[in-house]
Amino acid sequence: MKFPIEKFQELRTPFYYYDTTLLDETLKAVKDNMQPNWHMHYAVKANTNPKILSHIVAAGFGADCVSGGEIQACLDAGFPAEKIVFAGVGKSDWEIELALLTNIFCFNVESIPELEVINELAQKHGKVARIAFRINPNVGAHTHENITTGRAENKFGIAWEDALDVIQRSQQMGHVECVGLHFHIGSQITEMDDFATLALRINELQEILDTYGIRLPNVNVGGGLGIDYETPDQNPVPNFKAYFDTFRRYLQLHKGQQLHFELGRSLVAQCGSLIGKVLYVKKGSLRTFAILDAGMTELIRPALYNAHHAVENITPHDGESVYDVVGPICESSDVFAKGVKLATTIRGDLMAIRSAGAYGEIMASQYNSRKLPEGYTSEELCCQQ
Ligand code: LLP
């Protein structure tokens, strides 16, 4: 990726930089691989920067929200309410009411107590809430333990063996209408076999439901497609074809059934970088540290999940050296990379922490009383690459 370094010199660091040309290319690749009865609901939790949301609205996608705040951000950004789905194990009453009153497409319901509350609140407002049950398919995904969600021991979803019962129960209720099944097995999944296994489990469930005469109009397979954090410039656009082909090949939909997806990371991760400035280069007894003004407060993924992000010194220099790239926060886990070979680094250089467009800016905190980072796009810096 090329960075407009001269423009960057005018900005206060650290900040997020989004290449909207790459974002649009990514969104187009998604659209090019989809079918007419397929619907994409961008998992907004990955990034709610309004500048990013505006591109996703323009692409015609819907949104997958997990809070009232996200629903509001999506409505403000121009997502049509009828393309919004609302998931989450702990929906508050005000969040359910906001979703009911704005007529979102569907609640992804994760428990019987939640179902009862939605039914009650819908009755209070004279509404019928469209719901889909999030079923836990008990499928393991080959990903970080903290971001796998579809195994029986995870808190998410309704137990596989209870699926039939909850659907039948909802059919007795006056203010909910069950319109679909929902699944999500985890995040940063790069093995398509995991999605194939999910598809086969869904077929199994649909067959069981069929024997009871239950055919629901929608199936939502969640999100989870991973990206290349190691070599982002080699794979700036994720392999959407392989992902969608897996469902085309293994998932059996009933006639007329609509298929929904909730991709987050794969849509926005590669277009974003965290840009920080080198404050000091410090030689320790064992290692040389490049100390940035960006840290775990702006990008927590390395500290939280031991996640790898490629780091680049984007200020042109001759020569190379090995550094530990660290942030300024008073925590030993505030480290972006250990023992990486970078262009010889001096105070004032700009560094890019790559693949940070998803779960970066949105997970920033004010720990150490720091300011939240700004996000700038390539188009607003007038430098389409
Ligand atoms: N649908 C549901 C129900 C989800 O829970 C998630 C993500 C998604 C869709 C979107 O998944 P994606 O396509 O982005 O993988 N903070 C972590 C990731 C947490 C993901 C939580 N759920 C990280 O930085 O890796």
Q: Is the pLDDT of residue 288 over 50?
A: yes
Question: How remote is the CA of residue 141 from the centroid of ligand 1, in Å?
Answer: 13
Residue 229: half-sphere exposure toward Cβ, Cα within 13 Å? 18
Task: Report, as an integer, the average pLDDT of 361-365.
Answer: 98
User: Which parts of the chain fold into alpha helices (H)?
Assistant: 5-9, 20-32, 50-58, 68-77, 93-101, 112-124, 163-171, 192-211, 240-250, 265-268, 301-305
Contact 357, 18 (CB under 8 A): yes
Report percent pLDDT > 90 for the chain: 92
Counting runs of H as helices and runs of E as strands, what totals does the chain give?
A: 11, 17
| Ligand 1 neighbour 359 (Cβ under 6 A) | yes
CB 220 within 8 A of CB 183: yes
Q: Taking residues 243-268, report their average pLDDT.
A: 98
Q: What is the mean pLDDT of residues 61-88?
A: 98
pLDDT at 385: 47
**Mean pLDDT over all residues of the chain?**
95
| DSSP one-letter code for 355 | S
Q: State yes or no: pLDDT of 36 exceeds 60.
A: yes
Mean pLDDT of 10-18: 97
Go through 358-367 and write b for each residue having 16 or more CB atoms within 10 A of its CB, e for each that does not. bbbbbbbeee
Atom of ligand 1 nearest to the CA of 46: 14
Question: Which of 330, 336, 332 lies closest to 301 in space, CA to CA?
Answer: 336
Angle, CA 264 vertex, CA 311 and CA 254 arms, to 5° = 145
Q: Backbone phi, then psi, for 379, in 5-degree steps?
A: -70, -35
Please classify residue 175 by burial: count the beta carbons closer than 10 Å to its beta carbon, then call 0-12 exposed, 13-18 middle and 19+ buried: middle
Domains observed in the chain: 5-13+270-383 (2.40.37.10), 20-268 (3.20.20.10)
The answer to whether the CB of 43 is under 6 A from ligand 1 is yes
Q: What pLDDT is attached to residue 383?
A: 57
> Is pLDDT at 384 greater than 60 in this prediction?
no
pLDDT confidence tier of residue 172, bands split at 50, 70 and 90: very high
Residue 153: per-residue pLDDT: 58
Tell me the whole-structure pTM to 2 decimals: 0.96
- The answer, yes or no, to whether any atom of ligand 1 lies below 6 A from the CB of 68, is no
pLDDT of 230-242, one tens digit each? 999 999 999 999 9
Atom of ligand 1 nearest to the CA of 262: 9
pLDDT mean over 100-110: 97
Query: Cα separation of 376 and 49, whole Å?
Result: 10
Q: Which of 336, 371, 346, 370 is nearest to 278 (CA)?
A: 346
Q: What is the pLDDT of residue 84?
A: 98
Separation CA 297–CA 366 (nearest Å): 6
From the CB of 222, is ligand 1 less than 6 Å away? Answer: yes
Q: Mean pLDDT throughout 81-100?
A: 97
188 lines ligand 1 (CB under 6 A): yes
Dump pLDDT digits (tens) for 137-164: 988 666 666 555 655 656 678 999 999 9
Per-residue b or e along 259-286, where b marks 16 or more CB atoms closer than 10 Å to that residue's CB: bbbbbbbbbbbbbbbbbbbbbebeeeee
Output the pLDDT for position 380: 95
Q: How far is CA 212 from the centre of its chain?
A: 35
Using the 8-state DSSP alphabet, how is residue 121 labeled? Answer: H
Among 3-7, 9-13, 148-152, the minimum mean pLDDT is found in: 148-152
**Ligand 1 close to Cβ of residue 46 (< 6 A):** yes
Task: Select from 96, 144, 86 the least CA-distant residue to 117.
Answer: 96
The mean pLDDT value for 202-215 works out to: 97
Angle between helices 240-250 and 192-211 (to 10 degrees): 30
Q: How far is the CA of 219 from the centre of ligand 1 (A)?
A: 18
Measured in Å, residue 317 CA sits from the centre of ligand 1 at 38
Q: How far is CA 77 from CA 14, 44, 50, 74, 119, in A?
A: 25, 11, 6, 5, 28
Give the contacts of 173 (CB within 8 A, at least 6 positions apart).
115, 119
> Among 381, 373, 338, which Cα is nearest to 356's?
373
AA letter at 333: S
Q: So what's the pLDDT on residue 316?
A: 87
Lowest-confidence region among 157-166, 289-298, 350-359? 157-166
DSSP annotation string for 24-69: HHHHHHHHHT--TTEEEEEEGGG---HHHHHHHHHTT-EEEESSHH
CA–CA dist 4, 1 (Å, integer)? 10
At what angle are helices 68-77 and 93-101 packed, to 10 degrees? Answer: 30
Q: What's the pLDDT band for 106 if we cut at 50, 70, 90?
A: very high
- Please tell me the distance from the alpha carbon of residue 354 to that of residue 61, in angstroms, as a whole number: 25
pLDDT at site 339: 97
Least confident of 131-145, 185-199, 307-321, 352-366: 131-145
- Residue 147 CB less than 6 A away from ligand 1: yes
Q: What's the pLDDT score for residue 382?
A: 78
Q: Is the CB of 299 under 6 A from ligand 1?
A: no
Q: What local confidence, expressed as pLDDT, does residue 67 receive?
A: 98
